[in-house]
Homo-oligomer: A and B are copies of this chain.
């Protein structure tokens, strides 16, 4: 009824839907799956997000903003690189533990062809922003002697981000050990003593 109530429901819908998207993929949940745990009806969800396509686009935007916030605080640009890498590992582990086994990009890559052009672009921008941040972490780390690796930092960033995304999916199938093994291997590949 008040502004708070409005934003509150909207935010709860986003939170629930994001969880469902990461757990089951875009075609694995319905408006009913969102509304039921919130104690509302599916028509109420349609009020806030008229179509599922718009809802998914909002979920990408939400994840993107969360990343910007994360890189601005917890994973601040410009600081020492090693804690930022470890922060990324911790973030990933925490996501998996709180019921978000795969990331948004991983989930949506499966449904990619169904997405509208604008949604595809939003997803691509989200990925590019993540890569920009992580490329910088790697460059800084190498300059400051925290990391050792050969070759182009961008390639290395792509390969490590891909590795983490793939590892989350491995972990879902084969257990969380796959995640820890992967983190350990990334450290080894960067010449970090563990």
Contacts and interface: CB of A to CB of B under 8 A. Distances in A.
Nearest to A187: B151
Contacts of A128: 174
Interface string A15-49: 00000000111011000000000000000000000
Contacts of A150: 188-189
B113 A24 contact: yes
A112 B173 contact: yes
A170 interface: yes
- Chain A binding surface, main DSSP class: helix
A105 B173 CA distance: 8
Identical chains in the assembly: 2
A123 B178 CA distance: 15
Interface string A146-171: 00011100111011011111110110
A173 B24 contact: no
Given A158-B181, A170-B161, A173-B120, A25 B24 contact: no
A66 interface: no
A155 B172 contact: no
Contacts of A185: 151, 155-156, 158-159
A109 B166 CA distance: 10
A65 interface: no
A16 to B, nearest CB: 16
Contacts of A167: 158-159, 162, 166
A55 interface: no
A69 to B, nearest CB: 22
A110 B110 contact: yes
Contacts of A28: 27, 110-111, 114
Interface string A96-133: 00000110011111111110000010011001100000
Leading 6 A-B pairs by shortest Cβ distance: A166-B166, A162-B166, A109-B169, A27-B27, A165-B166, A159-B185
